[in-house]
Structure formats: structure tokens, C-alpha cells
Amino acid sequence: MSKALDGVRILDFTHVQSGPTCTQLLAWFGADVIKVERAGAGDITREQLRDIPDVDSLYFTMLNHNKRSVTIDTKNPEGKQVLEALIQKCDVLVENFAPGALDRMGFTWERIQELNPCMIVASVKGFGPGPYEDCKVYENVAQCAGGAASTTGFDDGPPVVTGAQIGDSGTGLHLALGIVTALYQRTHTGRGQRVLAAMQDGVLNLCRVKLRDQQRLDRTGVMKEYPQYPNGTFGEAVPRAGNASGGGQPGWILKCKGWETDPNAYIYFITQAPVWAKICNVIGKEEWATDPDYATAPARLPRLKEIFAEIERWTMTKTKFEAMQILNKHDIPCGPILSMKEIAAEPSLRKTGTIVEVDHPTRGKYLTVGNPIKLSDSPTEVLRSPLLGEHTDEVMAELGYSPEQISALRTAGAI
């Protein structure tokens, strides 16, 4: 069966997490992704957080499926020529080097356009143009600079970063959308263009609701769905909201049976207004459905703490899965707090290919997260990540190099 991005060739100059997330998605949609790595070393994540000595780490294998790996020393003049040949052959160059690194290598936008005017050059950087544009950036820097950390955690504690890699993988997703959009525009214009996804911008985009709240706070001085209301105080900036929901339906994380020993025996419970009467029935507080202090959403806002405490008395008598079953029967929105162990074992995620077991020649079998985006006409087959330089000869041959030339370039250290 054909794939959505069949025929698209990607020169993948990415490393660590943000860029590789993007090119992995493109590979899953069918693009031929040629990952260029430093000869002899490769993407630094191959050796980071290793669980098996001398074997590509899970960090690397889980971000580089379905790609081919070639090793080129792009600072070697002959290596540069190989890269030029690749630029001429590919549709998109994706990179997430520190600012200026590609230019220092000699591959400015102008030079790339000379080599291939149709090429799309897509970059992840920490910051867009401005005071921090020259800074190197990792995940948590982006979470802090993009507004996530200041708005995450509890009011009486420090800012907190989230486990979801919204700076790295989140920006990789943004970049992937930019690339396919630019590819689409190229079908009309015939021209390439630059695509930039800054990690600060990507995180801020995902924190959009918090900028909404900043303006509400500026105007009214209070936000009634925040746990600071009615007894706490609001300062000048959006406060940390604990586990309050980011939207208009109040929610909180509540203990379930077993919470004393299981750190994940909790459920997220949403007191959605349309099902309030059902909630009252389930928890045995039928009178709240008609009591004017509780019957309407605005009346409940100053009493949320007391309401969630009462609901928790009920959830503590059920496991999170029992509570889910009962609540779902009544259309009451809720979600179990699932551990990674539970997610890894979840049969439905295996069935949909969201969690996949992959075999690797030196590592053996391991679990990975497959393509979270399902296309009905472009199914994803998750293939193992490449060994370092595994496809150098193959790709060189496709570029027209003879075995003798390949061997000479290898002797010269260019590949």
C-alpha cells in the first residue's frame, strides 16, 4: 500500500529529541529519511542513558525508527561534497543544531538555495529572533521560558516541569506540520522555503489557555475556577493551579482505593455541569442536585474544595478502574491515573499500534510508542532504528558513487 509521503526525501540532520521526533513522524508517513551523523560518534543519544553496554540506547532507538543512517564528516572538504550531493537529491533538510552551526559548516540558506532551489530547510531552535536567539536550549529550558513551568505545580511550591516533553517532542510535532505545509505550498510555487519552530513558541502555543487566563486576571483580578478562589490570594501573574482543569468544567485528582500504598491509585474527576445530577446520585448526595448552593455551576465554584472532598469520600471506596466503570456508565467524564507500567501492558494500545514491540539486532526486543497519528490510507509499520552508518554505502551508491570512490572517501575520513 502506498504511503502519504512516498517519494519525499528528507536529509535528516537532527539529533537528541526535538528534531528526531519530527523526522520519525515523516518516516512513518512514508518519507525516505536519511539521517546524517557524525562519523565515528553519531547522534549523542546513541550512548546516553544506556541500559545495555555498547548497545544503542532506548533514547535513540525510540526516536529514530524507519530511518537510514549515513555517517559523514561535514567539516571535511570531501565530506562537504557528499553533503552537497545529498542536498541536491533531497526535498527537505531538517536540523536542530545550535544556532549558527549550519552556517558555520558552510551551508547557509543562500548556499543551499544555490544547490537546490526547491529545498525546504526546517529548523528547531530554542528561541526565535530576539534576545535569546543564540542560546542552546534543552527541554526544560523551553518549558520554563514558554510559560509551562510558572503555571504548573501547586500555589505553595516552586514552579514544576511536566513529564510530557512538550519542548522537544512538542516542537518536533510543530515542525513536522510546518514541513508538510511547505511541501504542499511547493506544489504551487515550485520553491522551497525556510521553516522555523522555536521551542519557546511551541511550548507557549501549548500554554495558550494560560495567556488567556493572564488577560482574564488582568481584567477581573480573580479566576473563580482556580483553587485560590475564594480563600486564597491572586497576584499579578497566572498562578499555579494544582490539578484544576484548564477549561470551564472544574476537575481535580482524587484518591481511590489503595492510594496509601499505590502512588497511582487516583482518578481525575470532572464535575461537568450537564451531568451534575448524576454525580450527586452516584456519590449519594442527591440533595445537592436541587440545593441552590450546589445546583448550579456558578454556585458550586466557591465550594469546589468541599465538593471534591465529598466526591473523594466516594472514590476512596473504589479502585480507579471500578470508579471509571461506574462513572462512564453515567457519562461522567473521568480518567484513571495510569502508570507507565500499566500503559505498557494495555492490550488496546498494542492493538492500535500506539505501543509496539520492535526487534533490534543488538538490543533484542523492546517496546516503543508507535505513530500516534493514524491515516486510513497510509498505515504505519514501525521499523527498528538504524545502526550507526548502516546505510552509508547504500546511500552513497544511490548518489552515484562507485565502490572505489566510497572506499577512498572512507580512507580520507570523509565518510
* Catalytic residue IDs: 168
Report, in Å, the least distance between residue 394 CB and ligand CAO: 18
Q: For residues 278 and 284, give the distance between their C-alpha atoms in angstroms, rounded to a whole number.
A: 10
Applying CB under 6 A, does 61 fall inside the site for ligand CAO?
Answer: no
Nearer to ligand CAO, 96 or 271 (CB): 96
Specify whether the CB–CB gap between 105 and 93 falls below 8 A. no
Specify whether the CB–CB gap between 277 and 285 falls below 8 A. no
Kindly list the distances between the CA atom of residue 342 and the CA atoms of 107, 164, 165, 348, in Å, as whole numbers in the listed order: 46, 17, 20, 12
Applying CB under 6 A, does 297 fall inside the site for ligand CAO?
Answer: no
Residues contacting residue 385 through CB under 8 Å, at least 6 positions apart:
56, 60, 61, 62, 63, 64, 65, 67, 360
Stretch touching ligand CAO by CB under 6 A, among 25-33, 94-102, 354-362, 394-402: 94-102
Applying CB under 6 A, does 392 fall inside the site for ligand CAO?
Answer: no
Applying CB under 6 A, does 138 fall inside the site for ligand CAO?
Answer: yes
Report, in Å, the least distance between residue 143 CB and ligand CAO: 12
DSSP secondary structure letter of residue 286: G
Applying CB under 6 A, does 168 fall inside the site for ligand CAO?
Answer: yes
Applying CB under 6 A, does 38 fall inside the site for ligand CAO?
Answer: yes
Q: For residues 308 and 319, give the distance between their C-alpha atoms in angstroms, rounded to a whole number.
A: 17
Q: Of 96, 150, 271, 371, which lies in the binding site for ligand CAO, with binding defined by CB under 6 A?
A: 96
Burial class from Cβ neighbours inside 10 Å (0-12, 13-18, 19+) for residue 258 reads middle
Report, in Å, the least distance between residue 32 CB and ligand CAO: 19
Q: Of 137, 173, 180, 311, which lies in the binding site for ligand CAO, with binding defined by CB under 6 A?
A: 137
| Amino acid (1-letter code) at residue 340 | M
- In this structure, how many other beta carbons lie within 10 angstroms of the beta carbon of residue 6? 12
Stretch touching ligand CAO by CB under 6 A, among 86-94, 131-139, 259-267, 337-345: 131-139
Report, in Å, the least distance between residue 257 CB and ligand CAO: 39
Stretch touching ligand CAO by CB under 6 A, among 50-58, 136-144, 282-290, 353-361: 136-144
- In this structure, how many other beta carbons lie within 10 angstroms of the beta carbon of residue 7? 10
Nearer to ligand CAO, 147 or 389 (CB): 389
